[in-house]
Structure 1
């Protein structure tokens, strides 16, 4: 159990550095092109994620083709919106808004999975949105495309989680993982092709950091899930907020103010409460099912 949780924390360090690589590119490479390159590099993680009883053809095989395609579309949206958010906002601000995902998961689970949700989880949803208002400070600072992208990225991640819940008991892990790579590779290339930019040698360093560190995070998270149940591994993702604050200060010279601290605490607290409630209510397969990074 301890080894699994430790591996999860290391995985989210890798993810945080991957996100920092996006910001270091400062929007010099179009978002769709960056997502294409990152997803293509993510294919390197497939051999580690692939189960012994799974075939390479299972990357494209799914019992529900519609749901597989929806998972692919959600992966494209989550990746593109996250790149835009980290490019336009501080890492801490983008991460705080992306942590809205558990609140969106609760809402979508009620609508599409018909899950019963009690007043405690609904209260956590409302508290989470209150935290967003504290972070955004409407009327005191402008609402930018970066803020919208972060919120839409959280929504896309929630769609992915709901699809995983719907397909998890019947689909192979490699199929669900494949949709999260193949969708961004195909769709982002089609959008990026007319405006391709050749990265400079310096930019290639950050492009490789974005893709390879995310792939390393996926591998580490897969290993973590083999040593500990998902319910114990998932809360480690909130350590990304600490890394976001540290990287903002060390790499970009961006500080964090009191409203950001308070809003982040509120959002993270609501998310942790939601995870705990779902840990209690979810069937055993969900607690065993290996995690896949939603975005």
Structure 2
């Protein structure tokens, strides 16, 4: 269990560093092009995701194709929105809004999984969205496309989780990972064709770091959930906030004010509470082979 949790921390550290790489592009490469090349480099993880007996066609085939496509589309939209948000906003602010994902999962689970949500989890939903208002402070500060993109990323990440809960017990690990790579690969590739910008050597290095570190993070997360329950590994994702604050301060000159810090605490607290309650009410990790 301890090894699995430590692998979870390592995985989300790799994800955070990957995000720092793409933010370092400063928008010099369009988001959809960054997503495409990130997915190309992300293919490096496929051999490590394969189990004995798996075939390469399993990357793009599934026992429940509709859910595979839901994850593929959610991965495409979520990745493009994520890169857009990191390009326009401080890292900590992006993670704050993306970390609404457990709250969105609660709402979507009511709609699509018909799960019962008690007053405690509804209270966490309320606190989470109150935290968003504290962070964004509409009317007191300017809001832009980056904030919308971060919220879209969190929402589509939640949709991907719901699809995973429904498909997890029935699909191969390579298929679950493949949907998350093929979707961004196709969408990013199609969108970048009209206005393709050839990256320079420095940008190639940043794109490689973005894609390869994300692939490494996916492999580490897979092994983490193989040796520890996913409900024990999932909270380690919040360690990304520490990386975001550190990277934002030291690398990008970001600064957080007190209202934003209060909002961050509210959202993180609501998300962690939601994960704890779901462990007691909905033991979903038994229905999923990986996070």
Fold equivalence (TM over 0.5): yes
Aligned partners of 1:77 and 1:256: how far apart in 2?
Answer: 28
Task: Give, in angstroms, the shift of residue 53 of structure 1.
Answer: 3.5
Which position in structure 1 is the counterpart of 2:62?
Answer: 62
Which position in structure 1 is the counterpart of 2:241?
Answer: 241
Structure 1 unaligned residues grouped into runs of 5+: none
Aligned partners of 2:146 and 2:12: how far apart in 1?
Answer: 22
Q: 1:284 to 1:191 in 2, by over 3 A?
A: closer
Q: 1:105, 1:161 within 8 Å by CA — same for their partners in 2?
A: yes
Q: 1:284 to 1:256 in 2, by over 3 A?
A: closer
Aligned Cα RMSD in Å?
A: 1.2
Which position in structure 1 is the counterpart of 2:281?
Answer: 281
TM-score norm. by structure 1 comes to 0.96
Task: Give, in angstroms, the shift of residue 52 of structure 1.
Answer: 2.0
Task: Give, in angstroms, the shift of residue 257 of structure 1.
Answer: 1.2
Task: Give, in angstroms, the shift of residue 220 of structure 1.
Answer: 1.0
Structure 1: which 4+ aligned runs deviate by more than 6 Å?
none
Q: 1:169, 1:285 within 8 Å by CA — same for their partners in 2?
A: no
Aligned partners of 1:240 and 1:195: how far apart in 2?
Answer: 33
Which position in structure 1 is the counterpart of 2:220?
Answer: 220
Task: Give, in angstroms, the shift of residue 170 of structure 1.
Answer: 1.3
Aligned partners of 1:284 and 1:82: how far apart in 2?
Answer: 26
SS in structure 2 at match of 1:195: coil
Which position in structure 1 is the counterpart of 2:50?
Answer: 50
Structure 2 unaligned residues grouped into runs of 5+: none
Which position in structure 2 is the counterpart of 1:165?
Answer: 165
Q: 1:283 to 1:253 in 2, by over 3 A?
A: closer
Task: Give, in angstroms, the shift of residue 64 of structure 1.
Answer: 2.1
Deviations along 1:84-107, one digit per CA (max 9) or x if unpaired, are 000000000001000010111000
Q: 2:45, 2:216 within 8 Å by CA — same for their partners in 1?
A: yes
Task: Give, in angstroms, the shift of residue 285 of structure 1.
Answer: 5.0
User: Counterparts of 1:13-24 in structure 2 under 5 Å?
Assistant: 13-24=13-24
Q: 1:284 to 1:147 in 2, by over 3 A?
A: closer
TM-score norm. by structure 2 comes to 0.97
Q: 1:231, 1:287 within 8 Å by CA — same for their partners in 2?
A: no
Which position in structure 2 is the counterpart of 1:272?
Answer: 272
Task: Give, in angstroms, the shift of residue 121 of structure 1.
Answer: 0.7
Which position in structure 2 is the counterpart of 1:116?
Answer: 116
Aligned partners of 1:63 and 1:265: how far apart in 2?
Answer: 40
Q: 1:137 to 1:44 in 2, by over 3 A?
A: same
